[in-house]
Structures are given as C-alpha cells and as structure tokens.
Amino acid sequence: MKMRSALVGLLVAAAPLAAQVTDSNIAQYGLGKVHAYEQTGPSTVTATSYAFNVFVDAASGGTINGAKVFGPLGSYLDTNGPQALTVRGANDGADFNVKGFVSQTALDATGTGFPNDNIGNYKLQIDTGTTGGSVGGGYDHEIKFNLGGDAYPTTVPLVTVTNGAWSDGKYFVSDSSAVTQFSWTFSDYIQPSAFSTTGDVIVFSVRPTAGGSDVVRVQYDSSNPGSYTLAANSLTPGTEYIGELFFARIVDKPDDISGVTGVVYYSVETTFKIQAVPEPSTWAMIGLGAVMIWWWCRRALGNRA
C-alpha cells in the first residue's frame, strides 16, 4: 500500500501561531493507523491486516535528510527503541511502516504494537535542509501527536466498476478505449471544516502492479463526490494495475510548523486488481497466430510421414 502518498496535501492547516517556526523544506507530515482490505468481487471485500504508518513529505525543492519516530512506554517504539524513517531516493520525503497485524488488538498491544496515546508521547523528529538543528541529534523539529479514540471510519470501502466484469478475483475492463467509471459509498462521511481538527479525506488511485507512475491519484479534502471517471485509453491492454480506495478520518492536526500540514488519522483502505483485456483486433491476431502454428505443425508432421 502507498500510505504516505495516499495523504498528499491532506487538509488546510490550522491558522499559524506567532510562536511557530517555519521550514520551507516540509510540505506535510503525519502519523496514523490503517485497517486494510482486499476486494475480489462486486461485493466481496476481505479484511487483510492492520498497520502503523508515519511519513514526511518534502515541499517542492525541499530536502528531508532524515527523521525518527518515538513512542510511549510499552509500545513497539519503546521495546525496539526509536525508529528511523526510510528516506526516499531523492530526499523528497521519508516513511516508516509496520504492517501485518492480524487484528486491532494486535496493533494496539503493549510491547509489540502501537497503543493509543493522547498525551503526546508519539513524537517525530525531522532533519531538513535547514542547517544547525537544535533538537537532540541534530534534528530541526520535534512534533508531538495525539493518537487516540480508535476513530476508524465504519464504512468499508467497496468499489463499483462499470466497463467490464469481475473474474477470478480481478476486474477486467472490456474496452480500454472507453471511459471506466468507479463509484463508492461512504455512509459515515464527516465533512471537514477549516475550523475543526477533524474530518474525512478520500483518496482514489490506480497504479501499475509492477511499479511506475500512478495512472491516476485523486484526493478529496472537502467533499465526497462518490465516484471517479477514468479517461479512455488510460489503461494499457494486458497490463495489471492495483486500484486503491482510501477513507481517512483525521483526529488531530498538529500545527508546530507554520504553513505545514500535520495530520493524525485512522483509516480504512481497500485495494483491488484491475486489467484491461486486449482489443478485439489483438484477439484476432492471436487467434490467427495460433491457427498458423497449428497449420505449420500439421504440415511438418505430414512431411515426416
């Protein structure tokens, strides 16, 4: 799952305070918990795992040199010590993920998990392109998070796709030269407000399974449109893609750095496989090729006789 990029430009940050610091290297940062699902049919969605996620995104032209996350006593981050985030190749951000928890109880467990904490014991230190970091170890910033309430959205993301059919756990687009409609229902959606630290964000994306650039990634910070229309010819026939629908409930917005968006969230996320079938002309060529091979083999056997 691409947790960090699922929250790009999440919400408008709270109004800056006079005592806040600034740093043009950082676009946003966040910490949260995820309940992951997989969709394999028109109404078949299966829970897969829970995860804990921390991220920092660089602003355009900014640099993230490093980051480290700390946790409360009795957490994974206490048992194993503070953990360094993995810096991305171009220094445009950093990430830390622990996945594969089989239940919410396991995710929240003392010692091996990430218990909820509402008194700022989850902390993130960030080292940017700014010189002379004053936080322990040469970091430039330290942000405290309030992660509590188990505020996961109750709606499990379910995608309805129009332009093909489900088969063997995958959605096959029958005509990639036509638009493909994706729709969803988010029954307990909470409208975000610029005057509140809570609200919901929806992210929909499609990307190649084998890696590469997103075909589409759209984010709805202030509304729930309930659907997205993928343009014609966006999918390459024969290529498999991963679709992702992400509902995030924001429970806090730290505003330690002026002009930088900070978020604390609980989210539910559904992924599904999608593939465009070859065009009819391609199937015709494949069929013609098979006939020619059969004819050649038959002729070769006949000559041997």
Instruction: Find out whether 272 and 159 touch, Cβ atoms under 8 Å.
Output: yes
Strand partners, 216: 206
Q: How far apart are CA 126 and CA 114, in angstroms?
A: 20
pLDDT in tens, 125-144: 999 986 666 777 789 999 99
The string of pLDDT tens digits covering residues 83-113 is 999 999 888 999 999 999 999 999 999 999 9
Residue 117: beta bridge partners?
Answer: 147
In contact, 11 and 250? CB cutoff 8 Å: yes
The pLDDT score that the predictor gives to residue 276 is 93
User: Is residue 25 over pLDDT 90?
Assistant: yes
Instruction: Please give the structure tokens belonging to residue 189.
Output: 């959606």
Reading phi first (left if > 0) and then psi (alpha if -120 to 50, else beta), residue 226 is in left
Average confidence (pLDDT) over 43-63: 96
pLDDT at 16 over 50: no
HEC string of 206-235 equals EEECCCCCCCEEEEECCCCCCEEEECCCCC
pLDDT at residue 15, rounded to an integer: 41
Determine the pLDDT at residue 172: 97
11 confidence band (pLDDT: 50, 70, 90): very low
102 in helix, strand or coil?
Answer: coil
Q: Is 13 a residue whose pLDDT tops 50?
A: no
Alpha helices by DSSP H, listed for 113-235, are none
Structure tokens at 75: 């957490």
- 191, with CB counted inside 10 A (0-12, 13-18, 19+), is exposed
What's the pLDDT at 69? 98
Structure tokens given for 301: 């056997």
User: How far apart (Å, rounded) are the C-alpha atoms in residues 28 and 195?
Assistant: 19
- Mean of the per-residue pLDDT values of the chain: 87
Q: Which helix (H) or strand (E) holds 199?
A: strand 199-208
Average pLDDT over residues 183-196: 89
| DSSP tag of 139 | B
> Which pair of tokens denotes residue 277?
């079938």
What pLDDT is attached to residue 278?
77
Exposure string for 239-263, b = 16+ CB within 10 A, e = fewer: eebbbbbbbbbbbbbbbbbeebbbb
Q: Could you give the residue ranges of the DSSP H alpha helices within the chain? A: 76-79, 104-108, 280-304
Collapsed DSSP state (helix, strand, coil) of residue 293: helix
Instruction: Give pLDDT, residue 288.
Output: 46
Give pLDDT, residue 7: 61
Write the class of the CATH domain 5-304.
mainly beta
Instruction: Give 250-295 pLDDT, tens digit per residue.
Output: 999 998 999 998 999 999 999 999 999 975 544 444 344 545 555 5
Return the pLDDT at 31. 97
* CA–CA dist 299, 305 (Å, integer): 10
DSSP 53-79: EEEEEEPTT--EEEEEEE--TTSHHHH
- Confidence category of residue 149, pLDDT binned at 50, 70, 90: confident
CA distance linking residue 239 with residue 119, whole number of Å: 47
**pLDDT above 90: residue 207:** yes
